[in-house]
Amino acid sequence: MPIGSFGNSVWRRLTRPGFLGYILYSASVIFILSESAEPTHSSMVRQMQYLSVTYIVCLVILTISSVMLQRARALSLRLLSIGLSIWMLALCVQSFAVFPLTTISLFAGFLIIEGSELEMPFALSISSVLIFMYAFPSIIEAVAGKNVMIAENAAVPSPLFRFGASLVLGVIALGSSLARAVFLSGQEAESTVHHLDTTINQLSKINQDLQQYARTIDEEAISRERNRISREIHDISGYRFTNVIALMDAAISMGGRDPERLQELYLAARNQARDGLLETRRALRALRADELHIKHGISAIYKICSVFEQVTGIKITIESGNIPNSFGPDIDMAVYRLVQEALTNAMRHGRATAVSIYFWIHDEMLEIVVQDNGIGAQQVVKGIGLSGMEERLASFGGTLETGSVPEGGFRLKALIPLALNSTNTNRALPGNKIPTMTEKAKK
């Protein structure tokens, strides 16, 4: 195959199924010159100049109509080009009966072109009409009359010759339609490979961005937690330790005098140390129990959707319905992984440009629906991703439904019973905001 963009472009044009038709149009020029030069043929034609002009008109109009058939997308223009071509080929049958190779090359050229552009049933129907018209020229003579420029005693191809030529034209017509199907399949395969390459690159970029995001969030979370612990220990314990030091200094300064006063100072110092220890432990327990909001619940869903939308350009809409900010770490992680896998499938397999995510709680049942506008799937083959979703949901007593939707695209629906997982569910506690309106994942 030629190398380089120009070479690839030329190669594509040369390998298009319809290109051979124009080669046969060009070959008809050689055939008519060769056949008209033979003494036996020239004596059969009364006015060769008239036939030459007729041939030129037929070739030009046939070429123009063929180009129109390939370029035009409007049905009216395509029907016009087919009508002109049939008219010109009928004129060829009427005028060039004594030039069989010229007629066959023009017929074969158009059969190849129309077979490479039209759907197979329509193309074969037109081909059948043309082949019938070639095989039985008497029908054209009965309609349009016999060409008076051809001598009465002119030798025309025998019925056996026309039958054999008709079979050849039939093979050419069928082969052209099959070549079109193979060519389109090759284009689709090439497009699929290109899409997969692009998808792999996008997924790699998404993976890198998500990893970088995770590292950044972890570093920021560690830094914030360290600073908070430092402030809490300073605020809670600093005052207590300062008091302990002051009481111990006062006891030392008494030099053993007034034992009752010394005992009071020792007890006060002990109480200060005990209270400081209790408050420090209480602060550490509170800090440990305080979850990092960005890593849990609906906030994590918004964040990953925002990153995914920014990287892939796929529009993502989230309707959070009546759900709380968090369901607890286990269900939060299951929902997070489910949405993550659904988004990946929408881009990688569905070739979607938009994804909608719905959340709703009804009768202690969490319903999650992820629907895209991609190509859908005639048959759902459960790979590692879908199987992993089902296993993760099954651990909570949940179910998963997948399939194409009538309006186009793919739909994934998950149900998780919250009543069975109440110990892991953090339901709308004070301070938990409950979204009540449709929201879009914001960047």
Q: Supply the CATH number for residue 351's domain.
A: 3.30.565.10
Amino acid found at 73: R
Does residue 136 share a domain with residue 39? yes
**DSSP code for 411:** E
Between CA 360 and CA 322 the distance in angstroms is 6
Between CA 265 and CA 286 the distance in angstroms is 32
Number of domains the chain is built from: 3
Does residue 11 share a domain with residue 54? yes
Q: What is the pLDDT of residues 130-185, one digit of tens each?
A: 998 888 887 877 776 666 556 566 666 788 888 898 899 999 989 888 888 888 88
Instruction: Let me know how long the chain is.
Output: 443
Residue at which a domain ends, from 261, 277, 292: 292
pLDDT over threshold 50, residue 15? no
- The β-bridge relationship of strands 365-372 and 410-417 is antiparallel
Residue at which a domain ends, from 233, 260, 292: 292
Do residues 42 and 12 make contact, with C-beta atoms less than 8 angstroms apart? Answer: no
Query: 440: pLDDT confidence band, cut at 50, 70 and 90?
Result: very low
- Average pLDDT, whole number, for the chain? 78
Does residue 103 share a domain with residue 31? yes
Query: Distance between alpha carbon 6 and the CA centroid of its chain, in Å?
Result: 28
Q: Give per-residue burial for 217-233: e unless 16+ CB within 10 Å, then b.
A: eeeeeeeeeeeeeeebb
Does residue 428 share a domain with residue 335? yes
Write out 202-229 in H/E/C secondary structure.
HHHHHHHHHHHHHHHHHHHHHHHHHHHH
pLDDT over threshold 70, residue 336? yes
Residue at which a domain ends, from 246, 262, 292: 292
Residue 306 CB partners (closer than 8 Å, separation 6+): 441, 442, 443
Does residue 309 share a domain with residue 227? no
Of 24 and 12, more confident: 24
Residue 441 has what pLDDT?
A: 41
Asked, for residue 110, whether it belongs to a domain, the answer is yes
Does residue 340 share a domain with residue 218? no
Residue 405 has what pLDDT?
A: 87
Residue 222 CB partners (closer than 8 Å, separation 6+): none
Asked, for residue 372, whether it belongs to a domain, the answer is yes
Token pair, residue 250, equals: 């006062």
Q: In the predicted model, what is the mean pLDDT of residues 101-108?
A: 90
Does residue 360 share a domain with residue 407? yes
Query: 436: pLDDT confidence band, cut at 50, 70 and 90?
Result: very low
Q: What is the pLDDT of residues 219-262, one digit of tens each?
A: 677 677 767 767 766 666 766 777 778 877 887 887 777 788 87
Give kind and range of the element (H or E) at residue 360.
Answer: strand 354-362
Query: 288: pLDDT confidence band, cut at 50, 70 and 90?
Result: low
State the pTM of this model: 0.46
Between CA 394 and CA 421 the distance in angstroms is 12
Residue 92 CB partners (closer than 8 Å, separation 6+): 58, 102, 103, 106, 107
**DSSP code for 9:** H
Asked, for residue 199, whether it belongs to a domain, the answer is no
Do residues 374 and 346 make contact, with C-beta atoms less than 8 angstroms apart? Answer: yes
Asked, for residue 190, whether it belongs to a domain, the answer is no
Does residue 299 share a domain with residue 267? no
Asked, for residue 169, whether it belongs to a domain, the answer is no
> What's the Cα-to-Cα distance from 123 to each of 58, 115, 134, 177, rounded to whole Å?
21, 5, 17, 7
Does residue 385 share a domain with residue 272? no
CB atoms within 10 A of CB 8: 12
Asked, for residue 283, whether it belongs to a domain, the answer is yes
Asked, for residue 416, whether it belongs to a domain, the answer is yes
Does residue 433 share a domain with residue 305? yes
Does residue 254 share a domain with residue 313? no
Q: In the predicted model, what is the mean pLDDT of residues 42-59?
A: 73
What is the domain range of residue 217? 208-292
Asked, for residue 235, whether it belongs to a domain, the answer is yes
Token pair, residue 36, equals: 């008209």
Do residues 87 and 143 make contact, with C-beta atoms less than 8 angstroms apart? Answer: no
Query: Based on C-alpha coordinates, what's the Rg of the chain?
Result: 42
Residue 99, by phi and psi: left (phi above 0), alpha (psi -120 to 50) or beta? beta
Does residue 241 share a domain with residue 136? no
